[in-house]
Amino acid sequence: MTEILRNGTGLAQSSIIAAGVRDEILSGTRRPGERIGQQALAEQYGTSRLPVREALRMLESEGLVTVVSNAGARVSKLELDECVEIYRIREQLDPLLVSLAVPNYTDEDIARLTELERAVAMASNVEEFLSADRTFHVESYRAARSPILFETVERMWNTTQHYRRAYSHLVGDDGLGLNHLEHQLMLAAFRDRDASEARRLLYSHIRRTRRAFTRHPEIFQEA
């Protein structure tokens, strides 16, 4: 990787750095509010600080990093009311996205989504669940062919990733099992190409998590 970074263009270098930091944030290795040192990243990847700064701008556009002039970059952090507001927005946007996608599903799409949901159900720990759950939902949106809406929703997924992790640890197997049941209902709507029912189910799915956050403010106090 170091050789690629040294020989690559500035954009390629920035993309590699952004990918590494993105993985660290989404996996929970870097926690909300944690400072991201530009010099440390430059040394880690064997580059100057210029591609590091560009990488951080990329991650800021994805909602993963907050960059403040003269204060540096930190992993984005949310308060409870901010997370609740994002989920209220998602209650409207995610169902719209899936309702646009459902009529475009091919039989191959349905087969893939079925396999992806099976991976959610078979997850043996929270990290596996989070990865599989995100993939299932994101892939269910792709057929919408609405890139601006898709990117908007994906950004909101990014900014709330840490709090979904904390919530998943809190609810344990019973709570994650309920997710699986809701996914099964969604899959039935997908197979029937019933966009209205898929939209209704996804709205309830997201709303349930949003309401759970309000019952557990400690998730945000501990972040």
| Angle, helix 161-191 to helix 107-121, in steps of 10 degrees | 140
Check: CB of residue 177 under 8 Å from CB of residue 165: no
Q: Report residue 9's pLDDT band, with 50, 70 and 90 as the boundaries.
A: low
Q: Which CATH class is domain 2-75?
A: mainly alpha
pLDDT in tens, 100-136: 999 999 999 999 999 999 999 999 888 899 999 999 9
CATH number, domain 80-221: 1.20.120.530
Location of structure tokens 């087969």 = 111
Q: Report residue 4's pLDDT band, with 50, 70 and 90 as the boundaries.
A: very low
Mean pLDDT of all residues in the chain? 91
- Quick one: 146 exposed, middle or buried, by C-beta within 10 A (0-12, 13-18, 19+)? middle
In 79-194, alpha helices (H): 80-101, 107-121, 126-141, 147-159, 161-191
One-letter amino acid for residue 210 of the chain: R
Write out the two tokens for 164.
Answer: 């979904």
Statement: residue 41 has pLDDT above 70? yes
H or E element in which residue 54 lies: helix 49-61
Q: Where are the domains of the chain?
A: 2-75, 80-221
Statement: residue 71 has pLDDT above 90? no
pLDDT in tens, 144-188: 999 999 999 999 999 999 999 988 888 776 767 788 899 999 999
Statement: residue 46 has pLDDT above 90? yes
Q: Report residue 209's pLDDT band, with 50, 70 and 90 as the boundaries.
A: very high
Please give the backbone phi and psi of residue 66, each rounded to the nearest 5 degrees, phi first: -115, 120
Statement: residue 3 has pLDDT above 50? no
Write out the two tokens for 203.
Answer: 């709205």
- For the beta carbon of residue 86, count every other beta carbon within 10 angstroms: 20
d(CA 54, CA 101): 33
What pTM was estimated for this model as a whole? 0.85
- What pLDDT is attached to residue 171? 78
Rounded percentage of the chain residues whose pLDDT exceeds 90: 78
Statement: residue 91 has pLDDT above 60? yes
Check: CB of residue 217 under 8 Å from CB of residue 157: no
Most confidently predicted of 62-66, 68-72, 108-112: 108-112
Same fold for the pair 2-75 and 80-221: no
Q: What is the average pLDDT across 58-80? A: 90
Write out the two tokens for 161.
Answer: 């990733």
Statement: residue 8 has pLDDT above 60? no
DSSP 143: G
